[in-house]
Amino acid sequence: MRFLDVAKVYAASGAGGNGCIAFRREKFIEYGGPYGGDGGRGGDVIAEAVENLNTLIDYRFQQHVKAKSGEGGKGKVMTGAGGADAIMKVPVGTEIYEEDGESLIVDMATPGMRYRLLKGGNGGFGNAHFKSPTNQAPDFAMPGQPAEEKILILKLKLIADAGLIGMPNAGKSTFLSRVSAARPKIADYPFTTLEPQLGVVKIDETDFVLADLPGLIEGAHEGVGLGDRFLGHAERCATILHLVDGTGDEVAKTYKTIRKELEAYGHGLASKPEVVALNKVDAIPEKELAKKKAALEKASGQQVHVISGVTGAGVNAVLRAMAREITRRRLHRADERQYARPAPMPRTRAERQAVNYQAPVVAPSRGKSESVPAKVAVKKSAAPVKGPAKSPRRMDTAKVKAKKAAGTGKALKPRTAKASGKAKARPRIGSRAAARAKKKTARR
Ligand SMILES: Nc1nc2c(ncn2[C@@H]2O[C@H](COP(=O)(O)OP(=O)(O)OP(=O)(O)O)[C@@H](O)[C@H]2O)c(=O)[nH]1
Ligand SMILES: [Mg+2]
């Protein structure tokens, strides 16, 4: 199967179904009224990251993705069926861009992740929806909302923990086949590897994915050779292994050329942790080795591992150096995930007040006033109250009772219309109360 890491797709959601204009016409049902149902919703276009895909090759053959439109409404107030969604299955690590290829819509970085790219149109209302006392026979309905359409650019950036970078023939594929079960093509001509290859490496207690990327040459950022488009696959790596062919004459210059390409590519590749290795040590004459190693150390400004992908010399030390960086990043990400988790919602009053110290204390309910702290009771009434705090209404009745007991207060009079100052309501004419009142006056 061919590897494809960029694809262009035309996607369209489904349009909403039209509302229906219908009237009920049935034996023995007079004035049947409006009877048209609403249209169904159009389907969405949804991207889904799946684990069992490694390439975007499916979109070479399926360049149009369309969701189904909703069905129109029908008589008997039947709503039309909703259109089915179109699910775009993409490999984990796919970035979805707008047509310009620069504006990122979503990065499908986690397995199982789903994202709605285009929304289906809503169905239009049928005429039954519009019936009202003032319009009992609406003879109109709404059309469904139109579909959305878009051209999307999909870019796959493989999820690898480490990437192999170097000139063609540096021995990258040989190294990958040495440390993993992957079997990439190996040959002594440049650009043997034309697409990234992945392998799973196990060293001590760490497992990680290593990506072998096609070779870079001077001017790759301008498109020379295979260009730098495969460098995107190293963007997500925790570390890169820079292999330099030790049988070459100018190791320092080779190293600098590749570094320049990484800097020209950008996207933070140049600042990634790098492990530098002088490869093919089995084929380097003894007297040249120290000189080449020193030159490379000077150029890179860091420790240089001397290895051989064929004999396996020094390979484990390189893998351990990479595993260190990978473990560091994994720990860092685990920390980030832990702190990014939203705090649980406070449930009890005590929890809520612990979160917000400024939150007002909830007013005590009647009868439970004894449990209210003294500070709060003082705040509520300006004059200090002896004994337990009471709500204002209770305090009034308590005062009245106290006055009665002391004989200072007047006895409470029954409420009459005169006392309250309100006129007594006259009975309605023709009512029974009016008849009674009439009888009363007649008797007098
Ligand atoms: N002596 C020796 N030869 C090696 C070593 N590693 C790789 N080679 C040889 O170098 C040549 C190129 O090796 P590859 O692994 O295909 O190199 P590459 O970096 O993947 O090359 P491209 O895919 O073209 O970028 C092959 O002939 C290998 O046998 C090594 O450690 N020692
Ligand atoms: Mg190769």
Domain locations along the chain: 1-156, 162-339
Distance 167 CA to ligand 2 centre (A): 10
What would the pLDDT profile of 295-309 be if each residue is shown by its tens digit? 999 999 999 999 999
Q: Which residues line ligand 1 (CB under 6 A)?
A: 166, 168-174, 186-188, 190-193, 214-215, 279-280, 282-283, 308-310
pTM exceeds 0.75, yes or no: no
Contact 166, 245 (CB under 8 A): yes
403 against 219, higher pLDDT = 219
Classify domain 1-156 by CATH architecture.
Answer: Distorted Sandwich (2.70)
Its sign, for the CA torsion 318, 320, 323, 327, is negative
Of 160, 190, 156, 159, which Cα lies nearest the Cα of 173? 190
pLDDT at 391 over 80: no
Distance 270 CA to ligand 1 centre (A): 24
pLDDT band at 221 (very low <50, low <70, confident <90, very high): confident
Burial of 192-227, coded b for 16+ CB within 10 Å and e otherwise, reads: bbebbbbbebebeebebbbbbbbbbbeebbeeebbb
Burial of 327-364, coded b for 16+ CB within 10 Å and e otherwise, reads: beeeeeeeeeeeeeeeeeeeeeeeeeeeeeeeeeeeeb
CA contacts within 13 A on the Cβ side of 333: 9
Secondary structure percentages of the chain, helix, strand, coil, to 5? 30, 20, 50
pLDDT band at 382 (very low <50, low <70, confident <90, very high): very low
User: Could you tell me whether strands 94-97 and 149-156 are parallel, antiparallel, or unpaired per DSSP bridges?
Assistant: antiparallel
- What pLDDT score was predicted for residue 59? 92
Region 356-363: what's the mean pLDDT? 58
Ligand 2 ion local residues (Cβ < 5 A): 173, 192-193
- Residue type present at position 392: P
- What pLDDT score was predicted for residue 21? 96
pLDDT band at 371 (very low <50, low <70, confident <90, very high): very low
Distance 188 CA to ligand 2 centre (A): 9
**pLDDT above 90 covers what percent of the chain?**
51
What would the pLDDT profile of 145-198 be if each residue is shown by its tens digit? 999 999 999 999 888 889 999 999 999 999 999 999 989 999 989 999 988 888
417 against 37, higher pLDDT = 37
Q: Which residues partner with 149 through β-bridges?
A: 12
What would the pLDDT profile of 9-44 be if each residue is shown by its tens digit? 999 999 999 999 999 999 999 999 999 999 999 999
> Which of 169, 194, 311 best tests ligand 1's pocket when mutated (most atoms within 8 Å of CB)?
169
Q: Residue 83: count other Cβ atoms within 10 Å of its Cβ.
A: 27
DSSP H or E run through 392: helix 392-406
**DSSP-derived secondary structure letter, 159:** -
Token representation of residue 53: 């895909």
- Phi, psi angle pair for 350, to nearest 5°: -60, -40
What residue's CA is closest to ligand 1, atom 12? Answer: 169
- Ligand with smallest separation from the Cα of 281: 1
Supply the DSSP string of 74-113, one letter for each residue: BTTTBPPPPPPPEEEEEETTEEEE-TTS-SEEEEE-STT-
Residues contacting 193, CB < 8 A, separation 6+? 172, 173, 184, 185, 212, 213, 214, 215
Token representation of residue 182: 């992957």
What residue's CA is closest to ligand 1, atom 21? Answer: 169
What residue's CA is closest to ligand 1, atom 11? Answer: 188
Contact 318, 304 (CB under 8 A): no
Domain 162-339 has CATH 3.40.50.970: no
Pairwise CA distance, residues 12 & 10, whole Å: 7
Sheet holding 104-108, edge to edge: 64-66, 6-12, 149-156, 94-97, 104-108
Distance 343 CA to ligand 2 centre (A): 48
Contact 176, 214 (CB under 8 A): no
Start-to-end Cα distance in the chain: 114
Region 335-352: what's the mean pLDDT? 75
The conformational region for residue 237 under phi > 0 = left, psi -120 to 50 = alpha, else beta, is: beta
| Average pLDDT over the chain, rounded to an integer | 84
